[in-house]
């Protein structure tokens, strides 16, 4: 078994393409982050790109874009143990790990460290859209919407407990890439939605929906369902398989996604170890 730390995002993507193609939904976040770095649309403080191979075939992945923690792909226990042993040596400062729950549970057991924070996350895909009832008008967001979207995104990150390194840069990149949409009702923006760049493989592509944010004063009116449904339909029209991630502890979001045809693929777990 060989554990390899790749020197760049581009090298990592090339070396792991076949593995990611076999499980594009559960490796979708890894592909999206690595691609954004390889194309120069995102930068971070430091990078760790890992793969595990057996008989010259990749069987597992992990990445870390500092200041964030690790994101792991599915892999077997032997690969997990080998990879984690390398990480503890070459990236001993790492204390946050996320990936398939069964894998992260094993890492916790293997580490012997105490967990100070944990959060469940669900991965969905949509192969059969059940369109929500249309509401208002949906338009592409433009640079003139930056102040509104940036304000909403700051609130979104706070209320969900999510973090975003260089949030202003994230918003500007998504705007310039045409990946944000606003739901307008009687001329007023009431909901924000977006999607990732498409992840293109041989013969197919996938796209991750998100963020979806409705300010408090506009909630419980079906706006999030309508916008999520429309963005999902857009991705399908481009030949992409729509996916999304949602917090396991958010029953409202999960209900919305399931009602329009999203089905559960896997449960992820994120943990932070004590110092």
Per-position pLDDT tens, the chain of length 275: 999 999 999 999 999 999 999 999 999 999 999 999 999 999 999 999 999 999 999 999 999 999 999 999 999 999 999 999 999 999 999 999 999 999 999 999 999 999 999 999 999 999 999 999 999 999 999 999 999 999 999 999 998 888 888 999 999 999 999 999 999 999 999 999 999 999 998 889 999 999 999 999 999 999 999 999 999 999 999 999 999 999 998 888 899 999 999 999 999 999 999 97
Specify whether 132 is located in the same domain as 235: yes
Specify whether 20 is located in the same domain as 135: no
Specify whether 139 is located in the same domain as 214: yes
pTM of the model: 0.92
For residue 176 the two structure tokens come to 């310039």
Which residues, in sequence order, are bridge partners of residue 50? 5, 62
Query: Into how many domains does the chain fold?
Result: 2
32 Cβ contact list (under 8 Å, min separation 6):
196, 197, 199, 208
Specify whether 35 is located in the same domain as 106: yes
**H-type alpha helices, 165-213:** 167-176
Q: What is the DSSP string of 124-173?
A: EEESS--PPPP-SEEEE--GGGHHHHHHHHHHHHHHHT---TTHHHHHHH
User: What is the CB neighbour count within 10 angstroms for residue 231?
Assistant: 23
Specify whether 67 is located in the same domain as 107: yes
């Amino acid at each position: 078994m060989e554990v390899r730390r790749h020197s760049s995002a581009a090298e990592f993507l090339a070396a792991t393409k076949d593995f990611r193609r076999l499980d594009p939904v559960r490796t979708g976040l890894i592909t999206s982050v690595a691609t954004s770095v390889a194309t120069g649309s995102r930068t971070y403080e430091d990078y760790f790109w890992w793969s595990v191979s057996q008989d010259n075939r990749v069987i597992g992945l992990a990445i870390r874009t500092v200041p964030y923690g690790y994101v792991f792909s599915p892999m077997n226990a032997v690969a997990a143990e080998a990879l984690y042993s390398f990480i503890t040596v070459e990236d001993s400062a790492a204390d946050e790990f996320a990936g398939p729950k069964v894998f992260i549970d094993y890492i916790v057991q293997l580490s012997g460290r105490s967990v100070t924070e944990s959060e469940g996350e669900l991965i969905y895909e949509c192969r059969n859209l059940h369109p929500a009832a249309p509401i208002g008008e949906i338009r592409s967001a433009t640079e003139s919407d930056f102040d509104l979207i940036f304000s909403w995104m700051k609130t979104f990150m706070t209320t969900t407990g999510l973090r975003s390194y260089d949030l202003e840069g994230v918003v500007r990149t998504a705007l310039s890439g045409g990946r944000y949409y606003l739901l307008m009702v009687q001329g007023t923006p009431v909901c924000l939605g977006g999607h990732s760049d498409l992840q293109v493989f041989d013969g197919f592509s996938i796209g991750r929906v998100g963020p979806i944010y409705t300010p408090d004063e506009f909630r419980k009116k079906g706006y999030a369902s309508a916008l999520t449904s429309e963005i999902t339909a857009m991705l399908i029209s481009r030949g992409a398989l729509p996916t999304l991630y949602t917090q396991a502890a958010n029953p409202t979001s999960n209900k919305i996604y399931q009602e329009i045809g999203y089905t559960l693929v896997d449960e992820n777990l994120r943990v932070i170890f004590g110092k």
